[in-house]
């Protein structure tokens, strides 16, 4: 699968909605995200579904706590009326640690993130993308997160 330029992905209202970016462990998250509202999530705090939901709620200032429910997360991500922007970029640092204690949940999370990205594009004509930042020394990133890779 050919790598896509991250800048091109983020400006688009077309898939992929979720991409993976492999970086050196010491590298920072992407800086310039082309005018999109950037929110960053610490993957180390997202080892379980409960931790992930708390971290997403804090990063995105959810007005209602998602509890332990994937559906509430999906509803909150498709709304975001309390964070008006021309588009959204959710950067997940240390994504190889996300749901490490519950790897079977990763497919559900990817499904939600892709559904949300498609929904924003189709109904709001705004981009919503998730960038999964994985380290170059961690587990095989393509196996952990089977999504397209994006560079720079």
Domain boundaries, the chain: 4-151
Mean pLDDT in consecutive groups of 10 residues from the start of the chain, 152 residues:
73 87 55 74 95 94 82 92 91 93 95 96 94 76 81 68
133, 95 Cβ separation under 8 angstroms: yes
Say what the pLDDT of residue 32 is: 47
Q: What was the pLDDT predicted at 27? A: 44
- Whole-number pLDDT of residue 146: 85
The whole-number pLDDT of residue 26 equals 40
CA–CA separation, 3 and 81 (whole Å) = 32
Instruction: Please report which residue ranges of the chain form alpha helices under DSSP H.
Output: 6-11, 49-59, 70-79, 106-119, 141-144
pLDDT at 123: 92
pLDDT of res. 28: 44
Check whether domain 4-151 has CATH 3.30.370.10, yes or no: yes
Q: What is the dihedral of CA 129, 89, 103, 79, to 10 degrees?
A: -80
């Amino acid at each position: 699968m050919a790598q896509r330029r991250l800048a091109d992905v983020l400006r688009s209202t077309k898939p992929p909605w979720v991409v993976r970016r492999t970086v050196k462990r010491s590298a920072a998250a992407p800086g310039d995200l082309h005018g999109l509202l950037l929110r960053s999530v610490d993957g180390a705090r997202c080892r379980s579904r409960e931790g992930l939901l708390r971290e997403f709620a804090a990063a995105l200032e959810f007005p209602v706590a998602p509890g332990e429910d994937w559906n509430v997360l999906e509803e909150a991500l498709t709304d975001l009326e309390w964070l008006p922007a021309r588009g959204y970029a959710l950067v997940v640092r240390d994504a190889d640690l996300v749901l490490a204690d519950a790897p079977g949940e990763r497919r559900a999370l990817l499904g939600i993130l892709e559904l949300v990205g498609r929904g924003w594009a189709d109904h709001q004509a705004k981009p919503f993308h998730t960038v999964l930042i994985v380290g170059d020394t961690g587990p095989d990133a393509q196996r952990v997160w089977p999504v397209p890779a994006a560079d720079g």
